[in-house]
């Protein structure tokens, strides 16, 4: 078993001679970009699997990468005191100058999350994080569907506090379709998930694929480029496990990670109320579990 971070402040539990050998080997391979190329191949493989499953070809992917290379070069690789030129951008990216000029003249892609995703994430964050909507175990409690006469917490109140333009019935119908909530015979609504991860709805899943995986890669790239301070980016790995052991670890990972995510979310909701002005800063904490074994357990 071992921990594999990109953050340099993590302590490896290896003999010093072995650490020295690994550092020397890494320096040698990195100089020829071998390690970088191998890392790129590994991280792109699941993306290529998704692209092929969704009938997106290599040719179309290249058409997406060209303007992205230009945009990153323009925004992230500026020369202080000097104006970016098409020639420099072409040299930096390998994209032809005529294409660069065309990309720079085109409007930028709108990366604003879909309205239903943005509102849904905010509502579930509040339901998971604000004390009014939590039970004694600090878990999201079932809510009556309609506004209560005494102003007690309700699903309608939750939606109205976050948006005056969207009716709670519309949100409820969509969430029932996505499998995020269930409603009982007493007209109480229960949250079925600790995050906005719908069972149905590809638009929602694809948005979070783009956002969450991007932020994970951003933190790792930040550390690999030795930018300071390093971000938290760690994982634990173990092999030689039986299917039963994988099942146990998967359940343990889900239970413990949800406790961490709920605690961070609860504190974030509290801090938002004390932040002054129109703050734009954001953070992401992600947890994932992967195995090549087949999991039989049912998601709760």
Residue 139's nearest CA partner among 253, 248, 261, 252 is: 261
Query: Is the per-residue pLDDT at 194 higher than 70?
Result: no
Query: Is the per-residue pLDDT at 150 higher than 90?
Result: yes
Q: What percent of the chain has pLDDT over 90?
A: 42
Q: Long-range contacts made by residues 81-84, C-beta under 8 angstroms, separation at least 24?
A: none
Query: Is the per-residue pLDDT at 186 higher than 90?
Result: yes
Which DSSP symbol is given to 134?
B
Write down the pLDDT at residue 47: 93
Write down the pLDDT at residue 13: 35
pTM for the whole structure: 0.67
Of the candidate ranges 9-23, 136-150, 262-276, the one whose mean pLDDT is the lowest: 9-23
As a whole number, mean pLDDT of residues 111-121 equals 71
Residue 40's nearest CA partner among 221, 266, 278 is: 221
Beta partners for residue 191, in sequence order: 181
Helices of type H across the chain = 16-31, 34-53, 58-76, 86-93, 97-105, 115-129, 155-162, 168-178, 202-224, 243-274
Query: Is the per-residue pLDDT at 200 higher than 70?
Result: no
Q: Long-range contacts made by residues 166-174, C-beta under 8 angstroms, separation at least 24?
A: 166/119, 171/119, 171/120, 171/123, 172/145, 174/116, 174/120
pLDDT digits (tens, 9 = 90+) for 90-102: 999 999 999 999 9
């Amino acid at each position: 078993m071992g921990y594999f971070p990109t953050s340099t402040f993590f302590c490896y539990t290896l003999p010093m001679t072995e650490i020295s050998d690994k550092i020397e080997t890494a320096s040698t391979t990195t100089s020829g970009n071998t390690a970088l190329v191998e890392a790129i191949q590994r991280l792109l493989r699941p993306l290529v699997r998704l692209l092929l499953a969704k009938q997106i070809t290599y040719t179309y992917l290249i058409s997406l990468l060209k303007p992205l290379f230009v945009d990153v070069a323009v925004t992230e690789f500026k020369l202080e005191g000097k104006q970016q030129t098409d020639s420099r951008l072409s040299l930096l990216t390998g994209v032809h100058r005529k294409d660069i000029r065309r990309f720079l003249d085109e409007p930028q892609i709108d990366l604003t999350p879909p309205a239903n995703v943005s509102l849904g994430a905010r509502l579930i964050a509040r339901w998971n994080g604000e004390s009014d909507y939590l039970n004694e175990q600090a878990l999201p409690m079932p809510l009556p569907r309609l506004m209560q006469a005494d102003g007690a917490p309700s699903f309608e109140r939750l939606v109205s506090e976050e948006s005056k333009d969207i009716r709670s019935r519309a949100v409820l119908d969509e969430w029932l379709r996505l499998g995020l909530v269930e409603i009982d015979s007493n007209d109480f609504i229960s949250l079925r998930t600790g995050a906005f991860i719908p069972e149905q709805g590809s638009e929602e899943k694809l948005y979070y694929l783009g956002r969450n995986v991007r932020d994970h890669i951003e933190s790792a790239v930040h550390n690999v480029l030795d930018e300071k301070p390093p971000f938290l980016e760690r994982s634990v790995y173990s092999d030689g496990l039986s299917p039963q052991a994988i099942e146990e670890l998967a359940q343990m990972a889900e239970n413990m990670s949800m406790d961490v995510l709920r605690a961070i979310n609860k504190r974030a909701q509290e801090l938002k109320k004390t932040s002054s002005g129109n703050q734009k800063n954001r953070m992401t904490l992600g947890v994932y579990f992967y195995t090549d074994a087949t999991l039989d357990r049912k998601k709760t």
